[in-house]
Structure 1
Amino acid sequence: MNCYCGSHKSYDSCCKVFHLNGGQTETAEQLMRSRYSAFVRADGDYLMQTHHKRTRPIKEKQAIVNWAKSVLWQRLEILESTEDTVKFNAFFSEHGEADCIHENSKFVKENNKWYYLGYAENNN
């Protein structure tokens, strides 16, 4: 089975590696992909662990997990990637209705580790 993130690798040799090593990715895009896979797997611990402490929504963790479990994830499409931003579409269906999250995500690297920070200013 290909990884949830859309790479042509297996989950075991792709995002699972990052899920097991606490999010030690080499690039912001790898972290973005691993976070998408964590949404598919409803892995709230990983989502919180890889979300920067300054913007981490700890109080919303259970709601995020519940929502991630309630939708049918379809695919991730990376539109553009820079050193610290990743523009993407995450396709899913909720209550039988197709939907898409379109985001230009901002990442920050601290102590040699990437973290999701939030929306980049230019979120077109």
Structure 2
Amino acid sequence: MSSCPCGLPAPYDECCGRLHRGEAAAETAEQLMRSRFSAFAVGDADYLLRSWHPSTRPAELAFEPHLRWKRLSVVATGAGGPADEEGTVEFRARFSRRGRAGEMREVSRFARHEGAWVYVNGEVRSSP
């Protein structure tokens, strides 16, 4: 089994794969953010759209063909725990595009919608 793209020490199928398949739900904003990074890494647009707040969700999502998400580092979290209604996660995501390495930094905002954590929006500090 391959390791999970989110950076936690578990195989993908037992980590974010469970969320992507709908077998489990994110318990925290950080867990949702990690699962969304993994969804970008494996190309799971359906999960990304399902985990996006309806007020900010795009109608469709296309992946850039030469962009590969490689590694995630969580920098900081604010609230977003099991008992919270909102939270933030600051992260660094490393990528490669046409063989060139890069990094994106973002502070993402999450909220509960109908009981589930969803991505609302983010402030990109640097982008691909």
Q: Which has the higher helix share?
A: 1
Same fold (TM over 0.5): yes
Q: Deviation of residue 98 (structure 1)?
A: 1.1
TM norm structure 2: 0.84
Q: Aligned equivalents of 1:23 and 1:108: distance in 2?
A: 18
Q: Deviation of residue 123 (structure 1)?
A: 5.7
Q: Aligned equivalents of 1:72 and 1:123: distance in 2?
A: 19
Equivalent runs, 1:12-91 vs 2, <5 Å: 12-21=13-22, 24-59=25-60, 61=61, 63=62, 65=63, 67=64, 69-82=65-78, 83=80, 84-91=87-94
% identical equivalent positions: 39
Q: Cα gap change, 1:123/1:71 in structure 2, threshold over 3 Å: closer, same or farther?
A: closer
Q: Which has the higher strand share?
A: 2
TM norm structure 1: 0.86
Runs of 4+ in 1 over 2 A off after TM superposition: none
**Aligned Cα root-mean-square deviation (Å):** 2.0
Residue of structure 2 in register with 1:109 after alignment: 112
> Unpaired segments of 5 or more residues in structure 2?
81-86
Query: Would you say 1:94 and 2:90 are equivalent positions?
Result: no
> Unpaired segments of 5 or more residues in structure 1?
none
Q: Aligned equivalents of 2:105 and 2:58: distance in 1?
A: 19
